[in-house]
Structure 1
Protein backbone atom coordinates (compact mmCIF):
# COMPACT_ATOMS: atom_id res chain seq x y z
CA UNK A 1 0.00 0.00 0.00
CA UNK A 2 1.30 3.55 -0.69
CA UNK A 3 1.22 4.98 2.83
CA UNK A 4 3.58 2.33 4.48
CA UNK A 5 6.08 2.73 1.61
CA UNK A 6 6.19 6.52 2.09
CA UNK A 7 6.65 6.02 5.87
CA UNK A 8 9.61 3.67 5.42
CA UNK A 9 11.27 5.99 2.92
CA UNK A 10 10.79 8.99 5.20
CA UNK A 11 12.31 7.11 8.15
CA UNK A 12 15.31 6.13 6.05
CA UNK A 13 15.80 9.71 4.91
CA UNK A 14 15.74 10.98 8.52
CA UNK A 15 18.32 8.35 9.50
CA UNK A 16 20.63 9.45 6.70
CA UNK A 17 20.30 13.11 7.72
CA UNK A 18 21.10 12.35 11.36
CA UNK A 19 24.12 10.28 10.40
CA UNK A 20 25.39 13.00 8.10
CA UNK A 21 24.91 15.68 10.76
CA UNK A 22 26.78 13.60 13.34
CA UNK A 23 29.73 13.06 11.00
CA UNK A 24 30.05 16.69 9.99
CA UNK A 25 30.07 18.19 13.46
CA UNK A 26 28.88 21.76 13.90
CA UNK A 27 29.89 22.95 10.44
CA UNK A 28 26.84 22.57 8.23
CA UNK A 29 24.97 20.46 10.76
CA UNK A 30 21.35 20.73 11.80
CA UNK A 31 20.62 23.71 14.05
CA UNK A 32 17.55 24.65 16.04
CA UNK A 33 15.55 27.64 14.79
CA UNK A 34 14.33 28.55 18.27
CA UNK A 35 10.92 28.39 19.79
CA UNK A 36 7.98 28.31 17.39
CA UNK A 37 5.30 30.90 18.19
CA UNK A 38 1.98 29.48 19.22
CA UNK A 39 -0.71 29.77 16.56
CA UNK A 40 -3.75 31.75 17.70
CA UNK A 41 -7.17 31.82 16.11
CA UNK A 42 -8.93 35.13 15.36
CA UNK A 43 -10.77 36.59 18.33
CA UNK A 44 -14.34 37.44 17.46
CA UNK A 45 -15.50 40.68 19.05
CA UNK A 46 -19.05 41.56 20.08
CA UNK A 47 -20.74 38.30 19.06
CA UNK A 48 -24.14 39.70 20.01
CA UNK A 49 -23.86 42.70 17.68
CA UNK A 50 -26.88 43.11 15.40
CA UNK A 51 -25.85 42.72 11.72
CA UNK A 52 -26.08 45.81 9.53
CA UNK A 53 -29.13 45.91 7.30
CA UNK A 54 -27.57 47.98 4.49
CA UNK A 55 -24.09 48.54 2.99
CA UNK A 56 -21.95 51.09 4.77
CA UNK A 57 -20.45 52.50 1.58
CA UNK A 58 -21.50 52.71 -2.03
CA UNK A 59 -18.70 51.39 -4.23
CA UNK A 60 -20.64 51.91 -7.47
CA UNK A 61 -20.27 48.27 -8.46
CA UNK A 62 -22.75 45.57 -9.36
CA UNK A 63 -24.38 47.62 -12.12
CA UNK A 64 -23.96 47.62 -15.88
CA UNK A 65 -25.01 50.23 -18.41
CA UNK A 66 -25.81 49.80 -22.09
CA UNK A 67 -24.11 52.51 -24.13
CA UNK A 68 -26.98 53.54 -26.35
CA UNK A 69 -26.07 55.20 -29.61
CA UNK A 70 -22.67 53.49 -29.88
CA UNK A 71 -22.43 50.93 -32.66
CA UNK A 72 -20.33 47.76 -32.51
CA UNK A 73 -19.47 46.90 -36.13
CA UNK A 74 -19.45 43.13 -36.57
CA UNK A 75 -19.71 42.64 -32.82
CA UNK A 76 -15.99 43.46 -32.55
CA UNK A 77 -15.14 45.79 -29.66
CA UNK A 78 -11.88 46.76 -31.39
CA UNK A 79 -13.93 48.50 -34.09
CA UNK A 80 -15.74 50.70 -31.58
CA UNK A 81 -14.73 54.37 -31.65
CA UNK A 82 -13.42 55.27 -28.12
CA UNK A 83 -14.20 58.95 -28.67
CA UNK A 84 -17.81 58.09 -29.51
CA UNK A 85 -18.03 56.08 -26.27
CA UNK A 86 -16.91 59.04 -24.15
CA UNK A 87 -19.25 61.40 -25.98
CA UNK A 88 -22.12 58.98 -25.31
CA UNK A 89 -21.33 59.00 -21.58
CA UNK A 90 -21.18 62.79 -21.51
CA UNK A 91 -24.57 62.94 -23.24
CA UNK A 92 -26.08 60.51 -20.71
CA UNK A 93 -24.81 62.48 -17.69
CA UNK A 94 -25.36 66.18 -18.50
CA UNK A 95 -25.32 67.19 -14.83
CA UNK A 96 -21.65 66.19 -14.62
CA UNK A 97 -20.42 67.57 -17.93
CA UNK A 98 -22.76 70.34 -19.14
CA UNK A 99 -23.62 73.73 -17.70
CA UNK A 100 -21.65 76.30 -15.77
CA UNK A 101 -21.89 74.35 -12.49
CA UNK A 102 -20.93 70.95 -13.97
CA UNK A 103 -17.99 69.28 -12.24
CA UNK A 104 -16.23 68.28 -15.46
CA UNK A 105 -17.39 70.90 -17.92
CA UNK A 106 -13.88 71.30 -19.35
CA UNK A 107 -13.82 67.63 -20.34
CA UNK A 108 -16.89 68.14 -22.52
CA UNK A 109 -15.41 71.29 -24.04
CA UNK A 110 -12.13 69.58 -24.96
CA UNK A 111 -13.92 66.72 -26.71
CA UNK A 112 -13.97 69.01 -29.76
CA UNK A 113 -10.20 68.42 -29.99
CA UNK A 114 -10.63 64.64 -30.35
CA UNK A 115 -10.74 62.63 -33.55
CA UNK A 116 -8.19 64.70 -35.42
CA UNK A 117 -5.17 63.42 -37.34
CA UNK A 118 -2.59 63.73 -35.88
CA UNK A 119 -4.21 63.39 -32.43
CA UNK A 120 -4.62 66.64 -30.53
CA UNK A 121 -2.83 66.79 -27.17
CA UNK A 122 -5.81 68.60 -25.64
CA UNK A 123 -8.16 65.65 -26.23
CA UNK A 124 -9.01 64.16 -22.79
CA UNK A 125 -9.48 60.61 -24.15
CA UNK A 126 -6.48 58.37 -23.42
CA UNK A 127 -5.19 55.43 -25.42
CA UNK A 128 -7.57 52.46 -25.49
CA UNK A 129 -6.44 48.97 -24.45
CA UNK A 130 -7.91 45.59 -25.36
CA UNK A 131 -7.76 42.39 -23.33
CA UNK A 132 -10.00 39.43 -22.51
CA UNK A 133 -11.09 40.27 -18.97
CA UNK A 134 -14.18 38.05 -18.86
CA UNK A 135 -12.63 34.77 -19.99
CA UNK A 136 -15.00 34.30 -22.95
CA UNK A 137 -12.24 34.47 -25.54
CA UNK A 138 -13.16 37.98 -26.72
CA UNK A 139 -11.43 41.22 -25.87
CA UNK A 140 -12.91 43.93 -23.67
CA UNK A 141 -12.27 47.64 -24.09
CA UNK A 142 -10.47 49.41 -21.22
CA UNK A 143 -10.84 53.14 -21.67
CA UNK A 144 -9.61 56.15 -19.73
CA UNK A 145 -10.23 59.88 -20.02
CA UNK A 146 -9.27 62.91 -17.99
CA UNK A 147 -11.87 64.58 -15.77
CA UNK A 148 -11.27 68.31 -16.12
CA UNK A 149 -10.79 70.57 -14.35
CA UNK A 150 -8.99 68.67 -11.62
CA UNK A 151 -6.55 65.83 -11.43
CA UNK A 152 -8.81 62.81 -11.76
CA UNK A 153 -9.06 60.06 -14.36
CA UNK A 154 -12.12 58.06 -15.36
CA UNK A 155 -11.42 54.36 -15.95
CA UNK A 156 -14.07 52.34 -17.76
CA UNK A 157 -14.37 48.75 -19.03
CA UNK A 158 -16.78 47.78 -21.81
CA UNK A 159 -17.80 44.40 -23.18
CA UNK A 160 -20.12 43.30 -25.97
CA UNK A 161 -23.35 41.54 -24.94
CA UNK A 162 -25.94 40.67 -27.55
CA UNK A 163 -24.30 42.93 -30.11
CA UNK A 164 -24.49 45.96 -27.77
CA UNK A 165 -21.70 47.78 -25.99
CA UNK A 166 -22.13 47.44 -22.21
CA UNK A 167 -20.19 49.26 -19.52
CA UNK A 168 -19.24 46.76 -16.79
CA UNK A 169 -16.90 48.89 -14.67
CA UNK A 170 -16.60 52.59 -13.81
CA UNK A 171 -14.14 54.26 -11.46
CA UNK A 172 -13.19 57.92 -11.01
CA UNK A 173 -10.14 58.73 -8.92
CA UNK A 174 -6.80 60.53 -8.73
CA UNK A 175 -5.06 57.74 -10.60
CA UNK A 176 -1.28 57.24 -10.56
CA UNK A 177 -1.25 53.97 -12.52
CA UNK A 178 -3.46 51.26 -14.01
CA UNK A 179 -2.65 47.59 -14.67
CA UNK A 180 -4.45 44.68 -16.30
CA UNK A 181 -3.79 41.29 -14.70
CA UNK A 182 -5.80 38.17 -15.49
CA UNK A 183 -9.47 39.10 -15.21
CA UNK A 184 -8.74 42.18 -13.08
CA UNK A 185 -8.13 45.90 -13.45
CA UNK A 186 -5.77 47.25 -10.76
CA UNK A 187 -5.86 50.98 -10.07
CA UNK A 188 -3.14 52.75 -8.08
CA UNK A 189 -3.99 56.04 -6.39
CA UNK A 190 -1.84 58.37 -4.28
CA UNK A 191 -2.25 58.54 -0.53
CA UNK A 192 -1.98 61.45 1.89
CA UNK A 193 0.64 59.41 3.77
CA UNK A 194 4.17 59.60 2.42
CA UNK A 195 5.53 56.34 0.95
CA UNK A 196 2.05 54.78 0.75
CA UNK A 197 -0.51 54.35 -2.01
CA UNK A 198 -4.00 52.95 -2.39
CA UNK A 199 -4.63 49.94 -4.61
CA UNK A 200 -8.08 48.99 -5.89
CA UNK A 201 -8.63 45.73 -7.73
CA UNK A 202 -11.74 45.22 -9.85
CA UNK A 203 -12.37 41.63 -10.96
CA UNK A 204 -14.86 40.15 -13.39
CA UNK A 205 -17.68 38.23 -11.69
CA UNK A 206 -19.34 35.72 -14.04
CA UNK A 207 -22.49 35.52 -11.90
CA UNK A 208 -23.17 39.26 -11.72
CA UNK A 209 -21.68 39.80 -15.20
CA UNK A 210 -19.92 42.95 -14.04
CA UNK A 211 -16.56 43.80 -12.49
CA UNK A 212 -16.66 43.98 -8.70
CA UNK A 213 -14.31 45.73 -6.31
CA UNK A 214 -12.61 42.69 -4.76
CA UNK A 215 -9.58 44.30 -3.07
CA UNK A 216 -9.16 47.71 -1.45
CA UNK A 217 -5.90 48.22 0.40
CA UNK A 218 -3.14 50.64 1.34
CA UNK A 219 0.38 49.56 0.41
CA UNK A 220 3.80 50.69 1.55
CA UNK A 221 5.82 51.51 -1.56
CA UNK A 222 9.15 52.36 0.09
CA UNK A 223 10.81 55.43 1.39
CA UNK A 224 10.92 58.56 -0.67
CA UNK A 225 14.46 59.37 -1.79
CA UNK A 226 16.05 61.88 0.55
CA UNK A 227 17.48 64.99 -1.08
CA UNK A 228 21.18 64.73 -1.89
CA UNK A 229 23.45 66.88 0.28
CA UNK A 230 24.61 70.02 -1.40
CA UNK A 231 28.17 69.78 -2.67
CA UNK A 232 30.73 71.99 -0.96
CA UNK A 233 32.48 74.40 -3.31
CA UNK A 234 35.95 73.18 -4.25
CA UNK A 235 38.78 75.35 -2.96
CA UNK A 236 40.37 77.83 -5.29
CA UNK A 237 43.98 77.24 -6.29
CA UNK A 238 45.14 80.10 -4.06
CA UNK A 239 43.43 78.52 -1.04
CA UNK A 240 44.91 75.06 -1.61
CA UNK A 241 47.52 74.34 1.06
CA UNK A 242 50.99 73.49 -0.21
CA UNK A 243 52.21 69.96 0.50
CA UNK A 244 54.49 69.45 3.50
CA UNK A 245 58.09 68.64 2.72
CA UNK A 246 59.10 64.99 2.99
CA UNK A 247 61.51 63.92 5.76
CA UNK A 248 64.31 63.38 3.21
CA UNK A 249 63.98 66.97 2.00
CA UNK A 250 63.99 68.62 5.41
Structure 2
Protein backbone atom coordinates (compact mmCIF):
# COMPACT_ATOMS: atom_id res chain seq x y z
CA UNK A 1 0.00 0.00 0.00
CA UNK A 2 1.50 3.41 -0.94
CA UNK A 3 2.20 5.85 1.90
CA UNK A 4 -0.67 8.13 2.84
CA UNK A 5 -0.26 11.67 1.41
CA UNK A 6 1.01 14.10 4.02
CA UNK A 7 -0.41 17.62 4.13
CA UNK A 8 2.41 20.08 3.56
CA UNK A 9 3.03 22.69 6.27
CA UNK A 10 1.50 26.08 5.53
CA UNK A 11 3.84 29.10 5.19
CA UNK A 12 2.69 32.34 6.81
CA UNK A 13 4.21 35.68 5.80
CA UNK A 14 4.75 38.06 8.77
CA UNK A 15 5.63 41.76 8.72
CA UNK A 16 9.20 42.64 9.73
CA UNK A 17 7.95 44.31 12.92
CA UNK A 18 6.12 41.18 13.94
CA UNK A 19 9.18 39.05 13.29
CA UNK A 20 11.29 41.38 15.39
CA UNK A 21 8.79 41.17 18.24
CA UNK A 22 8.77 37.38 18.08
CA UNK A 23 12.56 37.29 18.10
CA UNK A 24 12.66 39.57 21.14
CA UNK A 25 10.46 37.19 23.08
CA UNK A 26 13.26 34.67 23.40
CA UNK A 27 12.35 31.01 23.90
CA UNK A 28 9.18 31.65 25.90
CA UNK A 29 6.26 31.58 23.51
CA UNK A 30 8.55 31.87 20.50
CA UNK A 31 8.31 30.03 17.24
CA UNK A 32 9.94 26.63 17.17
CA UNK A 33 10.78 24.48 14.22
CA UNK A 34 8.73 21.29 13.90
CA UNK A 35 11.43 19.54 11.94
CA UNK A 36 11.42 18.54 8.29
CA UNK A 37 8.06 18.03 6.61
CA UNK A 38 7.68 14.60 4.95
CA UNK A 39 7.47 14.78 1.19
CA UNK A 40 4.01 14.05 -0.20
CA UNK A 41 4.04 10.91 -2.33
CA UNK A 42 1.56 9.96 -5.03
CA UNK A 43 0.56 6.35 -5.70
CA UNK A 44 2.68 4.36 -8.13
CA UNK A 45 0.64 2.79 -10.91
CA UNK A 46 1.81 -0.76 -11.53
CA UNK A 47 1.73 -2.71 -14.79
CA UNK A 48 0.18 -0.04 -17.02
CA UNK A 49 0.30 -2.47 -19.94
CA UNK A 50 -2.27 -4.87 -18.48
CA UNK A 51 -5.12 -5.44 -20.95
CA UNK A 52 -8.46 -3.88 -19.97
CA UNK A 53 -11.28 -6.14 -18.75
CA UNK A 54 -15.02 -5.61 -18.74
CA UNK A 55 -16.17 -8.13 -16.10
CA UNK A 56 -14.78 -9.63 -12.87
CA UNK A 57 -13.19 -13.07 -12.87
CA UNK A 58 -15.17 -14.13 -9.80
CA UNK A 59 -18.75 -13.36 -8.81
CA UNK A 60 -18.87 -12.12 -5.20
CA UNK A 61 -22.53 -11.07 -5.08
CA UNK A 62 -22.12 -7.31 -4.86
CA UNK A 63 -25.89 -6.74 -5.22
CA UNK A 64 -27.91 -9.21 -3.17
CA UNK A 65 -31.65 -8.49 -3.21
CA UNK A 66 -34.65 -10.78 -3.09
CA UNK A 67 -38.40 -10.31 -2.76
CA UNK A 68 -39.66 -12.50 0.10
CA UNK A 69 -42.83 -13.99 -1.30
CA UNK A 70 -45.60 -15.14 0.99
CA UNK A 71 -44.79 -12.67 3.80
CA UNK A 72 -47.24 -9.76 3.99
CA UNK A 73 -46.30 -6.32 5.35
CA UNK A 74 -49.44 -4.82 6.96
CA UNK A 75 -49.62 -1.11 6.27
CA UNK A 76 -46.05 -1.20 4.90
CA UNK A 77 -44.94 -1.33 8.55
CA UNK A 78 -42.04 -3.76 8.85
CA UNK A 79 -42.44 -3.86 12.63
CA UNK A 80 -45.68 -5.78 12.08
CA UNK A 81 -43.84 -8.63 10.31
CA UNK A 82 -42.91 -11.59 12.52
CA UNK A 83 -39.11 -12.14 12.34
CA UNK A 84 -39.60 -15.83 13.14
CA UNK A 85 -41.92 -16.19 10.13
CA UNK A 86 -39.23 -14.66 7.91
CA UNK A 87 -36.62 -17.19 9.04
CA UNK A 88 -39.07 -20.08 8.72
CA UNK A 89 -39.75 -18.95 5.14
CA UNK A 90 -36.02 -18.99 4.37
CA UNK A 91 -35.66 -22.45 5.88
CA UNK A 92 -38.52 -23.95 3.86
CA UNK A 93 -37.22 -22.28 0.70
CA UNK A 94 -33.76 -23.83 1.11
CA UNK A 95 -34.16 -27.53 2.00
CA UNK A 96 -30.63 -28.25 0.82
CA UNK A 97 -29.28 -26.10 3.66
CA UNK A 98 -31.79 -26.84 6.41
CA UNK A 99 -33.37 -30.22 5.63
CA UNK A 100 -32.55 -33.52 7.29
CA UNK A 101 -28.85 -34.31 6.93
CA UNK A 102 -28.07 -30.79 5.63
CA UNK A 103 -25.41 -28.48 7.10
CA UNK A 104 -27.81 -26.44 9.28
CA UNK A 105 -30.48 -29.02 10.08
CA UNK A 106 -30.28 -28.16 13.80
CA UNK A 107 -31.50 -24.62 13.05
CA UNK A 108 -34.61 -26.05 11.44
CA UNK A 109 -35.23 -28.39 14.38
CA UNK A 110 -34.79 -25.63 16.96
CA UNK A 111 -37.37 -23.38 15.29
CA UNK A 112 -39.94 -25.24 17.38
CA UNK A 113 -38.50 -23.30 20.34
CA UNK A 114 -39.57 -19.98 18.82
CA UNK A 115 -43.22 -19.99 19.89
CA UNK A 116 -42.51 -17.18 22.37
CA UNK A 117 -40.83 -15.07 19.69
CA UNK A 118 -37.37 -14.08 18.50
CA UNK A 119 -34.66 -13.70 21.11
CA UNK A 120 -36.48 -15.86 23.66
CA UNK A 121 -35.21 -19.09 25.19
CA UNK A 122 -33.53 -21.55 22.81
CA UNK A 123 -34.94 -19.94 19.67
CA UNK A 124 -32.11 -19.56 17.10
CA UNK A 125 -33.65 -16.29 15.84
CA UNK A 126 -31.97 -13.40 17.66
CA UNK A 127 -33.57 -10.20 18.89
CA UNK A 128 -34.54 -8.05 15.86
CA UNK A 129 -33.36 -4.45 15.47
CA UNK A 130 -35.17 -1.66 13.66
CA UNK A 131 -33.57 1.41 12.12
CA UNK A 132 -33.97 3.49 8.99
CA UNK A 133 -31.02 2.24 6.92
CA UNK A 134 -32.38 3.28 3.50
CA UNK A 135 -33.10 6.92 4.31
CA UNK A 136 -36.78 6.81 3.37
CA UNK A 137 -37.95 7.76 6.85
CA UNK A 138 -39.26 4.27 7.69
CA UNK A 139 -37.77 1.55 9.85
CA UNK A 140 -35.91 -1.32 8.23
CA UNK A 141 -35.25 -4.69 9.86
CA UNK A 142 -31.86 -6.15 10.75
CA UNK A 143 -32.31 -9.82 11.58
CA UNK A 144 -29.90 -12.47 12.81
CA UNK A 145 -30.18 -16.19 13.45
CA UNK A 146 -27.76 -18.94 14.41
CA UNK A 147 -26.66 -21.50 11.83
CA UNK A 148 -26.71 -24.71 13.87
CA UNK A 149 -24.85 -26.87 14.54
CA UNK A 150 -21.74 -24.73 14.44
CA UNK A 151 -20.72 -21.21 15.29
CA UNK A 152 -21.98 -19.29 12.28
CA UNK A 153 -24.51 -16.48 12.46
CA UNK A 154 -26.64 -15.31 9.54
CA UNK A 155 -27.39 -11.59 9.22
CA UNK A 156 -30.16 -10.29 6.97
CA UNK A 157 -31.46 -6.78 6.28
CA UNK A 158 -35.02 -6.23 5.03
CA UNK A 159 -36.87 -3.18 3.77
CA UNK A 160 -40.30 -2.57 2.26
CA UNK A 161 -40.40 -1.85 -1.47
CA UNK A 162 -43.68 -1.42 -3.35
CA UNK A 163 -45.61 -3.05 -0.46
CA UNK A 164 -43.30 -6.09 -0.61
CA UNK A 165 -40.78 -7.41 1.91
CA UNK A 166 -37.37 -7.07 0.24
CA UNK A 167 -34.13 -8.63 1.45
CA UNK A 168 -31.30 -6.20 0.66
CA UNK A 169 -28.35 -7.81 2.43
CA UNK A 170 -27.33 -11.35 3.46
CA UNK A 171 -24.17 -12.66 5.10
CA UNK A 172 -23.09 -15.67 7.19
CA UNK A 173 -19.90 -15.94 9.20
CA UNK A 174 -18.42 -16.57 12.63
CA UNK A 175 -19.08 -13.18 14.20
CA UNK A 176 -17.67 -11.41 17.23
CA UNK A 177 -19.91 -8.36 16.88
CA UNK A 178 -22.51 -6.61 14.74
CA UNK A 179 -23.15 -2.84 14.75
CA UNK A 180 -25.47 -0.36 13.07
CA UNK A 181 -23.97 3.02 12.24
CA UNK A 182 -25.77 5.55 10.08
CA UNK A 183 -26.78 3.77 6.86
CA UNK A 184 -24.35 0.91 7.47
CA UNK A 185 -24.17 -2.57 8.99
CA UNK A 186 -20.74 -3.42 10.39
CA UNK A 187 -19.75 -7.03 11.08
CA UNK A 188 -16.67 -8.03 13.05
CA UNK A 189 -15.28 -11.54 12.67
CA UNK A 190 -12.28 -13.29 14.22
CA UNK A 191 -9.15 -13.64 12.12
CA UNK A 192 -6.72 -16.52 11.85
CA UNK A 193 -4.01 -13.97 12.75
CA UNK A 194 -3.72 -13.49 16.52
CA UNK A 195 -4.52 -9.97 17.64
CA UNK A 196 -6.47 -9.05 14.50
CA UNK A 197 -10.07 -9.20 13.34
CA UNK A 198 -11.98 -8.70 10.11
CA UNK A 199 -14.25 -5.66 9.83
CA UNK A 200 -16.78 -5.72 7.00
CA UNK A 201 -19.15 -2.85 6.34
CA UNK A 202 -22.28 -2.83 4.18
CA UNK A 203 -23.76 0.56 3.26
CA UNK A 204 -27.09 1.37 1.62
CA UNK A 205 -26.74 2.40 -2.03
CA UNK A 206 -29.81 4.24 -3.39
CA UNK A 207 -28.89 3.51 -7.02
CA UNK A 208 -28.64 -0.25 -6.56
CA UNK A 209 -31.32 -0.29 -3.83
CA UNK A 210 -29.16 -2.72 -1.86
CA UNK A 211 -26.62 -2.82 0.93
CA UNK A 212 -23.22 -2.94 -0.80
CA UNK A 213 -20.01 -4.24 0.76
CA UNK A 214 -18.09 -0.94 0.92
CA UNK A 215 -15.25 -1.82 3.35
CA UNK A 216 -13.34 -5.05 4.00
CA UNK A 217 -10.50 -4.55 6.48
CA UNK A 218 -8.23 -6.41 8.86
CA UNK A 219 -7.72 -4.43 12.08
CA UNK A 220 -5.74 -4.87 15.29
CA UNK A 221 -7.80 -5.72 18.34
CA UNK A 222 -5.24 -5.68 21.15
CA UNK A 223 -1.75 -4.70 22.20
CA UNK A 224 1.19 -6.05 20.26
CA UNK A 225 2.54 -9.24 21.78
CA UNK A 226 6.08 -10.51 21.60
CA UNK A 227 6.37 -13.14 18.89
CA UNK A 228 7.69 -16.39 20.38
CA UNK A 229 10.78 -17.92 18.84
CA UNK A 230 9.64 -20.62 16.41
CA UNK A 231 10.73 -24.17 17.11
CA UNK A 232 12.10 -26.34 14.29
CA UNK A 233 9.51 -28.61 12.73
CA UNK A 234 10.05 -31.45 10.25
CA UNK A 235 6.98 -30.42 8.29
CA UNK A 236 4.85 -27.34 7.71
CA UNK A 237 1.07 -27.64 7.55
CA UNK A 238 -0.58 -25.81 4.68
CA UNK A 239 -2.31 -22.58 5.67
CA UNK A 240 -6.02 -22.82 6.29
CA UNK A 241 -8.24 -21.84 3.41
CA UNK A 242 -10.29 -18.65 3.46
CA UNK A 243 -13.84 -18.74 4.80
CA UNK A 244 -16.42 -19.95 2.31
CA UNK A 245 -18.45 -16.83 3.13
CA UNK A 246 -16.50 -14.84 0.57
CA UNK A 247 -13.19 -13.56 1.97
Q: Normalising TM by the smaller chain, what interval? A: 0.7 to 0.9
Aligned to 1:3: none
Looking at secondary structure, tell me which structure has more helix per residue. 1
- Return the offset for 1:27: 2.3
- Return the offset for 1:42: 0.9
Larger Rg: 1
Unaligned stretches of 5+ residues in structure 2: 1-10, 227-247
- Return the offset for 1:94: 1.1
- Return the offset for 1:121: 2.1
Q: Does structure 1 conserve the Cα–Cα contact (< 8 Å) formed by 2:119 and 2:126? A: no
**Residues 200-250 of structure 1, C-alpha deviations (whole Å, 9 max, x = no match):** 000111111111000001011222799xxxxxxxxxxxxxxxxxxxxxxxx
- Return the offset for 1:92: 1.2
Q: Does structure 1 conserve the Cα–Cα contact (< 8 Å) formed by 2:97 and 2:103? A: yes
Aligned to 2:107: 107
CA distance in 1: counterparts of 2:92 and 2:17, whole angstroms: 76
Aligned to 2:33: 32
Count of paired positions:
216
Q: Which shifted more, 19-28 or 194-203?
A: 19-28
Root-mean-square deviation over aligned CA pairs: 2.3
Given the superposition, is the C-alpha separation of residues 117 and 182 from structure 1 closer, same or farther in structure 2, using an over 3 Å criterion? Answer: closer
- Return the offset for 1:189: 0.6
TM-score, normalised relative to structure 1? 0.80
The equivalences for 1:67-86 within 5 A come to 67-86=68-87
TM-score, normalised relative to structure 2? 0.80
Aligned to 1:124: 124
Aligned to 1:142: 142
Aligned to 1:59: 60
Corresponding residue SS for 2:23: helix
- Return the offset for 1:41: 1.3
Given the superposition, is the C-alpha separation of residues 24 and 87 from structure 1 closer, same or farther in structure 2, using an over 3 Å criterion? Answer: same
- Return the offset for 1:148: 0.6
CA distance in 2: counterparts of 1:110 and 1:205, whole angstroms: 35
Given the superposition, is the C-alpha separation of residues 32 and 113 from structure 1 closer, same or farther in structure 2, using an over 3 Å criterion? Answer: same
Unaligned stretches of 5+ residues in structure 1: 1-9, 227-250
The equivalences for 1:64-213 within 5 A come to 64-100=65-101, 102-116=102-116, 120-213=120-213
Corresponding residue SS for 1:32: coil
